Each structure stands twice: as structure tokens, then as C-alpha cells.
Chains A and B, each alone.
Chain A
């Protein structure tokens, strides 16, 4: 068993070196394929995150008239919390609103001074409503408008980011489609390359293979080196593609993380946490690709 593995490996290594140039190109194509596929997958992931990040930002602010009693606002909050489509409702009192406003304009002296001069707090109390789904806002607002609490409201501000989301979705879908198409092309190229590389390896060894058969080598023994070669291509290409991906993550992570600031998403952390998973997927993918095409080639050209 061990001796067979050793001889098979030797034979496979020989074919690799004898056709070094072709082997290198094959690996290169495999790497490109893996890299493209992972890039498309990464972009898809980022787009998903971006969309849900924007969705997170969407809410409806219901501002109450100054003379509304706190009991009424709390009652309105309770009413809204009972609506099944509502995810959460937050009450921002007049004081809290003022604090926030002051905080967010802390370095603007003019505003600070203007606020000092006012006796009264000019900011209204409000309820911030978040829905489970983007499409739920309409239903929620309808229910609220028909309720007894509507009369207390001064203004309803629906921070409408649906347009942004639609645009983002459209772009990411487009990018994804192009990515999938490019990946498909690369996959086809690498299958053809791999198929051809093994075919040439078989051709280069045809004399040896014929004699192997005639002196009683088993089919498994004759096929094994070519399958092993496919596996070897898979290991090498997925390792290199993974390193490339790591480099890309390393260089883009600062920008991506900036974009997702405050959203609990970290590209590099995500990459490191899922390193094994991504690597396994890449390895399996290239293994299926290269061993699969080797098998087809063997079936076609190595009549044993």
C-alpha cells in the first residue's frame, strides 16, 4: 500500500515536471477561477450586508405636539408595540432630544449659544418606530393614522431610504450576474485546461502505460497517478488562491470596515473566523473541478 502510494506520487510528480510549463498554466487558470469565484462570493456577501445595514437605518419618527402628556405618548407607544409588524418602539422625551441635539452639535458654538438663550426646549418628544420588514411601514402607519393617537402628532417623518435600497439592490444584482458569468467562463476554461493537461500527460506516457497494462498492472494503479495529479493541482491552486484572497482582504479591509462603521461587521475578522470554512470550500471546489476533469480525460484517453 505505502509503496504504491510512493510510486504513484513519483509518477505524478514526474508528469508534472516534464510538462512544467503546461502545469504552471493549468494551475494559473485554476487559481484565476477560484479567485474569481471567491471574489464574486465575497462581493455578494458585502452587498447583502450593505443592504441590511441600510435597512437597519430605516425608521419612522413620530413627533408629538408640545402639549401632549407623557401618558398619551406612552399609550401610543404601547399601541404601536401591539401592532404585530412592529419590531420596536423607542420613546425619546423632549429632554433626551435636547441632550442629543446638544451632543451632536457640541462643537458648534452658535447653536450652543442659541440654545442657551431659549427658555424653553424647542425640540418635540417622539417615538422611533422600526418595522420587521421594509414593506411593513405602510401597514403600521395606516394603523397609527386611524388610531386615537393620531391627533397628538405634529409630524411624521418617514426616513425613506427605499430608493437607496432599490438602487443598491439593482447594482449588486448586476455585479453578481456579471460575476457569475465570468466565473462560469473561468470554470469552463479550467475544466478544458485540466482535461487537456491530463490528456497530454497520458499521451506522453502512452508507451509506459501500454506496457504497464501488458505486464499486469491493475487499472487502479494505472489511473491513480493522473487522479493524484488532479488532486495535486487542487491543493496547490486553492492554497495560492487563498493567499491571494487574504492579501485582498488585508488591503481592502480598512475601507470596507469604514463603510460598515457601527454595523458590527469586520471584513478581516470575518475572513479569519471563517478561514477554514472558506479554504475547505475552495479546496473541495477545485478538487471536484480538477479531479472531475481528470477522470473524464482518463475515461476518454486511457482505455484500460
Chain B
């Protein structure tokens, strides 16, 4: 499903965020990507949705080489790879419902379909009751759920969650992880970016550890080793 071959990423100021990264993630997997702050995890996420271009190497998503993806094709890619951003990126002046509907509206989905999809998504992320609340009226975990819901509206093949438990207490964090596991069980490939040791250890799923842009370990049922 996701294929990286010798990917290098150097930012214009000469910081390396990825060095010779190669990895293969198959369809339906649940993979955690761990590593300390500033090692290039978010950069990897950005490269997966062509928000950042690679300096060298190849990235394929579902046999589609997106290394030199055309501008006009980026929207197609972003509807296939749903991303939950580290900073949520919710619109403060829109309600929960509107924030999720927005992702469909701007992609030209018919109103009838929006009215059908959004309640379904709200149900999956467990926010039916909060649909008319604004982001500032929500807890961190709830905001995170809205972001996850929005990432799901296009029924992506891959869901990437960048540090979804960053600001949450253990119980809330576990709830988010459970939600991601549920989404994974429904058939979506899930990439979880985190530096939360407990969560990774409890998951008993594949763990890829990154340090300074280099993949230092890749274990089938791994533990957080750094």
C-alpha cells in the first residue's frame, strides 16, 4: 500500500528530515512510527500527501508513484490518504458538523451525500451529541475526534494520524487509539505517528522507529526502543 524507496528529504536550510528511508506497508496494516521530537515524522506524513516534495528516492501509494506527482493530481491523492494533523487544523468558526462537511463541500460532493456521510462519520468517532459545538467548546480528545472524522469523509485507503494523543491524558489517549483500531478493523490502513511509549507497547503492532531521519528499527510486534 505504501512503498518508500531510498527517500531523502533535505530542507532548504540543509536540515535532513529523511535519510535513505525505505519501507513497505501492506494494505490493512496498523503501523506505529515512533521517534523523538524533530526526527522527521511529520515530514514523512507531509511527503505522503505531497505537501513536501522529496529530495530523492521514490514514494508509491497503492502502486501509484507520487514522487513527481502533477499539481492537478494532488487532490486525488489527498482524498485517498486522510491525515489527522498534529495541530488538528479545525476551523474555529465552524461547528463540528460543518468542519467535517467542509472537507466534502470543497471537493464538490452533492449536498444529499454530505447529509448522509457526515452523520455516519460522527457516529464512528462518537461525536453525534456534539455536532453543533464549536472547536473551542470541545476537549482535546474531542477535537482530535473531529479531525479524525474529517480525515475519514473521503473513505481513504490510508489514514495517517500525526501525534493524535499528544496533548491527551492516558484515558483519552487510549480512547483515540481504540478509535483508530476500530477504523483499522473496518479495512483502512492506519499509520500512527507518536512518541508515547506506553501506547506503542500496549498495541503489540508493527513499530517503525526513526531517529534523525533514519529508520533505526522495524519490528513486527514491536516495543518502543529509543
A residues adjacent to B (C-beta < 8 A):
3-4, 7, 207-208, 210-219, 221-222, 304
Are the CB atoms of A212 and B106 closer together than 8 Å? yes
Are the CB atoms of B102 and A3 closer together than 8 Å? no
Tell me whether B76 is interfacial, beta carbon within 8 Å. yes
Are the CB atoms of A217 and B75 closer together than 8 Å? yes
Q: Which of B77-118 contact A (CB under 8 A)?
A: 77-79, 83, 85, 89, 91, 102-103, 105-108, 110-111
Are the CB atoms of B89 and A7 closer together than 8 Å? no
Are the CB atoms of B71 and A215 closer together than 8 Å? no
Q: State in angstroms the CA–CA spacing of A212 and B105 once bound together.
A: 9
The residue on A at minimum CB distance from B112 is A3
Are the CB atoms of B108 and A3 closer together than 8 Å? yes
Q: State in angstroms the CA–CA spacing of A304 and B70 once bound together.
A: 12
Contacting residue for A219 out of B71, B77, B79, B110, CB 8 A: B71
Which among A208, A215, A222 has the highest number of chain B CB atoms within 10 Å?
Answer: A215
Shortest beta-carbon distance, B46 to chain A, in Å? 10
Are the CB atoms of B110 and A214 closer together than 8 Å? no
Q: How many A-B residue pairs have CB under 8 A?
A: 55
The residue on B at minimum CB distance from A304 is B71
The residue on B at minimum CB distance from A215 is B103
In the complex, which residues of chain A have a beta carbon less than 8 angstroms from the beta carbon of B75?
216-219
Tell me whether B19 is interfacial, beta carbon within 8 Å. no
Q: State in angstroms the CA–CA spacing of A207 and B150 once bound together.
A: 16
Are the CB atoms of B106 and A217 closer together than 8 Å? yes
Contact count band on B: 20 to 34
Which among B71, B72, B103, B111 has the highest number of chain A CB atoms within 10 Å?
Answer: B103
Are the CB atoms of B76 and A216 closer together than 8 Å? yes
Tell me whether B154 is interfacial, beta carbon within 8 Å. yes
In the complex, which residues of chain A have a beta carbon less than 8 angstroms from the beta carbon of B49?
214
11 contacts between A and B (CB under 8 A): A3-B108, A3-B111, A207-B91, A211-B102, A215-B78, A215-B153, A215-B154, A216-B76, A218-B108, A221-B107, A304-B71
Are the CB atoms of B91 and A214 closer together than 8 Å? no
Q: State in angstroms the CA–CA spacing of A3 and B109 once bound together.
A: 8
Contacting residue for A216 out of B79, B91, B111, CB 8 A: B79
Q: With A211-B91, A214-B85 in contact, do A7 and B79 touch (Cβ < 8 Å)?
A: no
Are the CB atoms of B78 and A214 closer together than 8 Å? yes
Give 8 closest A-B pairs by Cβ, nearest first: A217-B106, A216-B78, A215-B103, A216-B79, A216-B75, A212-B106, A218-B75, A4-B108
Tell me whether B175 is interfacial, beta carbon within 8 Å. no
In the complex, which residues of chain B have a beta carbon less than 8 angstroms from the beta carbon of A215?
78-79, 102-103, 106-107, 150, 153-154
Are the CB atoms of B111 and A214 closer together than 8 Å? no
Q: State in angstroms the CA–CA spacing of A4 and B110 once bound together.
A: 9
Q: State in angstroms the CA–CA spacing of A131 and B6 once bound together.
A: 88
Residues 52-88 of B, flagged 1 when their CB comes within 8 A of A and 0 if not, give 0000000000000000000110011111000101000
In the complex, which residues of chain A have a beta carbon less than 8 angstroms from the beta carbon of B111?
3
Please give 7 more A-B residue pairs, beta carbons under 8 A apart, in addition to A207-B91, A218-B108: A4-B108, A210-B89, A214-B83, A216-B75, A216-B79, A217-B106, A217-B107
Shortest beta-carbon distance, B166 to chain A, in Å? 18
Q: State in angstroms the CA–CA spacing of A304 and B75 once bound together.
A: 11
